[in-house]
Amino acid sequence: MSQILEVHKLSKTYQSGEKNLTVLDQISFSLEAGKSLAIVGPSGSGKTTLLGLCAGLDRIDTGSVSIAGHALDQLSEDQKAQVRNENVGFVFQNFQLIPTLTALENVMIPLELLGDKNALQEATALLDQVGLADRKNHYPSQLSGGEQQRVALARAFSNRPKILFADEPTGNLDEETGAKIEKLLFDLNRDKGTALVLVTHDIELAHKTDHLIRLKGGKVFESDLLSQTHAQS
Amino acid sequence: MAWKDSRRSRSKLLLFTLSITIGIAALVAINSFKENLNYEINNQSKSLLGADLEVYSQQPFTEEQMSFIDSLGSTRSLQSRFSSMIYFPQTGGTRLIQVRTLEGDYPYYGEIETLPLSAATDFKTGAFALVDETLMMQYNANIGDPVKIGQLEFQIIGKLQSIPGQNSINTAVAPVVYIPHQYLVQTGLVERGSRVYYSYFFKTDQEIIEEEFDETYETRFEELALRYETVDKRKKNTSIAFNNTTVFLNMSAFIALLLGSIGVAGAVYSYLGEKRRSVAILRCLGLSGRQAFYIYFYQVLTMGLLGSLIGTTIGTGLQLFLPRLVEGLIPFSIQTRFYALVALEGVAIGMIVTVLFSLLPLLSILKISPLNSIRAEFESGGDDQKNLILKSSLFGVITLFLFSFSYLQIQELDQAAIFIGGLFVTFLILWLFSKGLIYLAKTMVSPKWSFLLRHGIANLHRPKNQTGLLIITVGMCTMLISIMYFSHHVLLDQITMAGSEERPNMVLFDIQSHQKPALETLVTDFDLPIVQDVPVVTMRLLEYNGITKKQASQDSTLEIPDWLYNREYRVTFRDSLISSETLTEGALHPYQANDSIFISIAEGFAERQEWELGDEIIFNVQGALMKTYIGSFRKIDWRRIQTNFLVLFPSGLLEEAPQFHVLVTKVKDNQQSATFQQAIVRQFPNISIIDLELVLKTIEEVLVKISFVIRFMALISVMTGLLVLINSIMLSKSQRVKDSVLLRTLGAKAKHIIAIITIEYLALGSIASLTGLITAHLLTWVLSVTLFDATYSIDYMSTVYIFIAVIIATLVMGLLNMRPVLREMPLTILRREN
Ligand SMILES: Nc1ncnc2c1ncn2[C@@H]1O[C@H](COP(=O)(O)OP(=O)(O)OP(=O)(O)O)[C@@H](O)[C@H]1O
Ligand SMILES: [Mg+2]
């Protein structure tokens, strides 16, 4: 099966003042299309950084990342944006809805950027799927955390991505709501064949995925995934 | 605590300080300059007149008059002045000048400055002349050269550099040449009907107190048909002459301060916007709303004081250069001084503005609830009643302050009311427009539009939109700055002449009736057109509706000024209108024998005197009394080069009265102009010629200077305006940046983001700029009619320039704001929690 995500010897160093802080150190792995992967690790171990790099939201220092065959480090910002628009969905730790747009408008954006003529209908259907059809004209500030996260999910799926990155999607939610969001995630993963990369502190959740990577101090501490190139060498 | 807290957002505080600084600097500079001007007028008023008292007449003094003059004092000088042509035999140049003849030691105050110094007195010893320095330069004349005035030849003994009470505009239009008085008659220029002013200048032992003097002598002067001017009168007239300049300066000061105030409110608002979260958290930790308020109040106060002090210092420094800008426009030199009171006033007003305009946004601090730390978007409902009362009373105080400030600055109640009223109306219009725009954006957007257009327009009405703020601040700044340019235009338009290449460019006057046939032949010989040939009769107003000068001056409630009776009316007669005139009321009544005489009066003049149709006016036409009635009003376009008259008589009455003629023609070029003038001067030495090309050129030079002053003021406004703009746009910077970054993570390209922002700011910029311009035109029109007493005319060029400049400035600022989106990595910005 083809690899939707390939990460090879990826390193990231942040400069804070005069000190260099190596946040990610030579990370390599790859993920097959349609599979799910959990990334776990203590706070500050570099999970968000890794996810951001995979989605092209940050500059790669050394190593490479490719999504659906596009080597991100060789693309311009605009090209990365296009790759994201066509292939990637993203759910953030803190929802990151656009506060000046209604729930519906938030969900419509990726579709509109794709030039989808039926953006309105599709977005409405998606909101319906996450149970928020009646809240579509509300602004994020008028929604609860769980509701916002569901809108974020609907938005992440709206462009029918090949891969979805979710950064602690249930981290801010109570158990029940968290379980609902989880179910949504895995349902969408199964029904639409979207690969899923999930950052979580929840070990139980982590064990529901096909694969698991444990990060510690910016290094892969444990993994059942190896990048192909790594495996061959 | 207060200082510690300011650490993160000091750039905002800097913007705030800058607004105050520039506003106060402009205010202090202008007010110091005004003080300097007043001081000099007061201080040099004696040298403006050159004496303590001037007594003058347009006829040679009679014996009776002389015995009265003798009684006034013996330290006196005699001067006569009149227009005439000068002829430089060596180069063949001719030009209209003002001839002054002098006998005695005038001036007693100030100096006639000449080169060499001794020439100022030596010229009285023989057939010598002092010739205006610039005139000598223009005509390549040197000391020792001969000049011809009338029928006499004089030798240039010195260059005339300055005369008491004359500015370089006066002398440029009609350069002065002094000759000794004893040659006056020999020049042959003094004939009956020519306009010569004879003056005696007195130096008195005791200071003349205007009121006492008036009381003692006024009737006597009247009986003798003499006129007089005291130092105080001259001072008043000089101040009046600066009226438009002063109004303009006051307006600039007012505008600078207003822009600064808007800057203050904006900067504090945006500064606090960044602080909401921190305040909310502090409040969770137990800080009371009042304490939170004081933290920021002290910060703002400190920065305000700093800004006011710096502004005052800069303003005081700036005023040193202002006199240099107006050099030549003022008939005296200006020494700059430091005025502690003005400086103090600057600091005080700076502080008042700081407090008043920062309180507006500061009050919202009281409202920040601890809940805001949990949910940033949390709005604690509408204003509660207490806050509402506080806010409305603050608005009241601000209005009161602006009104009293404008009143103090302008010293005229109605003008201050115009400023404040205009401001209020503009604010209202802008507010309505912004509401309208938001409504339009909400209802107009159609799903059929492209994604980018839809988002750009939708941004105008979405939550946290900037529509209201930007339209009001940008609109207000546009309005204020435009007013500067527009009123500049209106003022200049008063002096510049309308008309095309086809306009006539030469006026011959003082033509005696018997000279007319010969002159007309000469004109036709030169193949020149006679564009106009107008007879002029001079007369004086004796009674208006039965009120004599004496009654008018005794009863001040009549509000009829002296000069109305004193001035000489130059009147023509015809039964039709010319192209520069339009009838506004009544009709021209041709004269029928034994019927009443109906005259026509210039509209503006009549309006100012509150004259009405049917009013009775008795004129003294060179000894003969004529009872007339106002039969019509005419609007006159004074800027046309025509011979225009305040008073127009019907024909059939004045034909036989002593008169002279004015002839208007058009010469083709300088060469023809020179030869034609030489021919006239040789054949008719008493005829004066105005070469309008020359006058226009001189006026243009003056205008360049005035423009410079105005540009300087406008520049200050533009600078403050830009500050306000930066401020307002920065307000929502973090919000907009985050929105755009999120769009980017979802796949939007740079061009998408730029397009959305461009559409939004184009819409905002154009609406704000358009509204500002429209209100500016309205206000300028009001100002023109009420303050400047000028005809309003639209400045199309500036309108277009300002329209485009404001849009571009708004757009550029908006786009610059988005730089982080394109420069920084999305994750970096997303991590930044606000
Ligand atoms: N812009 C930056 N400059 C300096 N250091 C940074 C920057 N961004 C992240 N870091 C550091 O990189 C490290 C990894 O951060 P990251 O957000 O990836 O951790 P995380 O694993 O997601 O933690 P958590 O589970 O708490 O979300 C942290 O120590 C963080 O302080
Ligand atoms: Mg994280």
In A, minimum Cα distance to B458 occurs at A101
Tell me the chain A residues in contact with residue B826 when contact means C-beta distances shorter than 8 Å: 52, 57-58
CA distance B364 to chain A (A): 20
Question: Which residue intervals of A37-76 are DSSP H helices?
Answer: 47-54
Per-residue pLDDT reduced to its tens digit, B411-439: 778 778 887 888 888 888 888 988 998 99
Are the C-beta atoms of B456 and B757 separated by less than 8 Å?
Answer: yes
Ligand 1 atom showing the smallest separation from residue A201 Cα: 25
Is the Cβ atom of A40 under 6 angstroms away from ligand 1? no
DSSP assignment of B257-276: HHHHHHHHHHHHHHHHHHHH
Instruction: Give residue limits of the domains in chain A.
Output: 3-227
Best residue in B746, B831, B833 for a mutation probing chain A (most A CBs within 10 Å): B746
Contact B462 A55 (CB under 8 A): no
CA distance A232 to chain B (A): 33
Per-residue pLDDT reduced to its tens digit, B462-483: 877 778 878 888 888 888 888 8
Contact B378 A141 (CB under 8 A): yes
Q: What is the pLDDT of residue B328?
A: 65
Residue reference for tokens 């790669």: A60
Tell me the chain A residues in contact with residue B746 when contact means C-beta distances shorter than 8 Å: 84-85, 90, 109-110, 113, 155
> Which one of the ligands is nearest to A41 CA?
1
Is the Cβ atom of A44 under 6 angstroms away from ligand 1? yes
Q: What is the pLDDT of residue B3?
A: 57
Instruction: Give residue limits of the domains in chain B.
Output: 1-52+207-411, 53-206, 428-501+691-834, 530-665
- Alpha-carbon distance of B111 to B163, in angstroms, equals 7
Closest by CA to B461, choosing from A105, A111, A134, is A105
Chain A contacts to B (CB-CB under 8 A): 48-49, 52, 55, 57-59, 77-78, 81-82, 84-86, 88, 90, 92, 94, 96-101, 109-110, 112-115, 120, 139-141, 155, 159
In A, minimum Cα distance to B823 occurs at A77
CA distances (Å), B421 to each of B414, B424, B476, B513, B716, in order?
Answer: 10, 5, 14, 56, 24
Distance A12 CA to ligand 2 centre (A): 15
**Beta strand B176-180 pairing with A3-16:** unpaired
Tokens of B640: 């046309």
Contact A100 B465 (CB under 8 A): yes
Is the Cβ atom of A232 under 6 angstroms away from ligand 1? no
Q: What is the pLDDT of residue B640?
A: 60
Looking at the structure, give the CATH architecture of the domain made up of residues A3-227: 3-Layer(aba) Sandwich (3.40)
In B, minimum Cα distance to A89 occurs at B746
- Alpha-carbon distance of B709 to B699, in angstroms, equals 16
Per-residue pLDDT reduced to its tens digit, B142-163: 999 999 998 899 999 999 988 8
**Which residue type sits at B577?**
L
Pick from B459, B744, B827: CB nearest A81: B744
Q: In what order do the strands lie in the sheet with A70-71?
A: A19-32, A3-16, A62-67, A70-71
- Alpha-carbon distance of B383 to B399, in angstroms, equals 21
Q: What is the pLDDT of residue B194?
A: 64
Contact B825 A57 (CB under 8 A): yes
**Beta strand B647-649 pairing with B569-573:** parallel
A vs B: CB pairs below 8 A: 84
Chain B contacts to A (CB-CB under 8 A): 375-378, 447, 451, 459, 462-465, 735, 739, 742-752, 822, 825-828, 830-831, 833
CA distance B451 to chain A (A): 6
Is the Cβ atom of B828 under 6 angstroms away from ligand 1? yes
Is the Cβ atom of A52 under 6 angstroms away from ligand 1? no
Tokens of B210: 């205007």
Are the C-beta atoms of B186 and B712 separated by less than 8 Å?
Answer: no
Going by alpha carbons, the residue nearest to atom 18 of ligand 1 is: A46
Judge residue B702's burial from the number of C-beta atoms within 10 Å of its C-beta, 0-12 exposed, 13-18 middle, 19 or more buried. middle
Tell me the chain A residues in contact with residue B825 when contact means C-beta distances shorter than 8 Å: 57-59
Best residue in B371, B377, B450, B745 for a mutation probing chain A (most A CBs within 10 Å): B745
Bridge partners of residue A40, in order along the sequence = A214
Going by alpha carbons, the residue nearest to atom 7 of ligand 1 is: A14
- Alpha-carbon distance of B613 to B600, in angstroms, equals 9
Is the Cβ atom of A47 under 6 angstroms away from ligand 1? yes
Which residues 6+ apart lie within 8 Å of B212 measured at CB? none
Contact B447 A113 (CB under 8 A): no
Is the Cβ atom of A39 under 6 angstroms away from ligand 1? no
Which residues 6+ apart lie within 8 Å of B175 measured at CB? B95, B97, B98, B131, B132, B134, B135
Tell me the chain B residues in contact with residue A110 when contact means C-beta distances shorter than 8 Å: 746-747
Which residues 6+ apart lie within 8 Å of B196 measured at CB? B58, B80, B81, B82, B190
Contact B747 A57 (CB under 8 A): no
Best residue in A15, A65, A90, A98 for a mutation probing chain B (most B CBs within 10 Å): A98
Q: What is the pLDDT of residue B4?
A: 60
Q: What is the pTM of this model?
A: 0.70
- Cβ atoms within 10 Å of B31's Cβ, excluding its own: 23
Is the Cβ atom of A43 under 6 angstroms away from ligand 1? yes
Instruction: Give chain B's residues under pLDDT 70.
Output: 1-10, 167-173, 191-194, 241-244, 326-331, 368-385, 494-502, 638-642, 696-711, 789, 833-834
Is the Cβ atom of A42 under 6 angstroms away from ligand 1? no
- Alpha-carbon distance of B398 to B360, in angstroms, equals 10
B390-398 long-range contacts (CB < 8 A, ≥24 apart) are B390/B363, B391/B360, B391/B363, B394/B356, B394/B359, B394/B360, B394/B363, B397/B356, B398/B356, B398/B357, B398/B360
